[in-house]
Amino acid sequence: MRELTYLEAIREALAEEMARDPKVFVLGEDVGEYGGAFQITKGLYEKYGERRVLDTPISESAIVGISIGAALRGYRPVAEMQFGDFISCGFDQIVNQAATLRYRYGGRASLPLVIRAPSGGYVHGGLYHSQSTEAWFFTRPGLKVVFPATPADAKGLLKAAIRDDNPVIYFEHKYLYRRAKGPVPEGDFVVPLGQAAVRREGRDLTCVSYGACLSMALAAAETMAKEGVKVEVIDLRTLQPLDWETVLGSVRKTSKLCIAHEDSLGRGVGNQIAARVAQEAFDDLDGPVVRVGAADTHVPFSPPLEEFVLPSEAKILKALRELAAY
**Phi-psi category of 222—alpha, beta or left, where left has phi over 0 and alpha has psi -120 to 50?**
alpha
Question: Exactly one of 124, 129, 173, 261 is catalytic; which is it?
Answer: 129
Whole-number CA gyration radius for the chain: 19
User: Active site includes 129?
Assistant: yes
CA distance 2 to 9: 10
**Closest among 132, 271, 264 to 211, alpha carbons compared:** 132
List the catalytic residues.
129
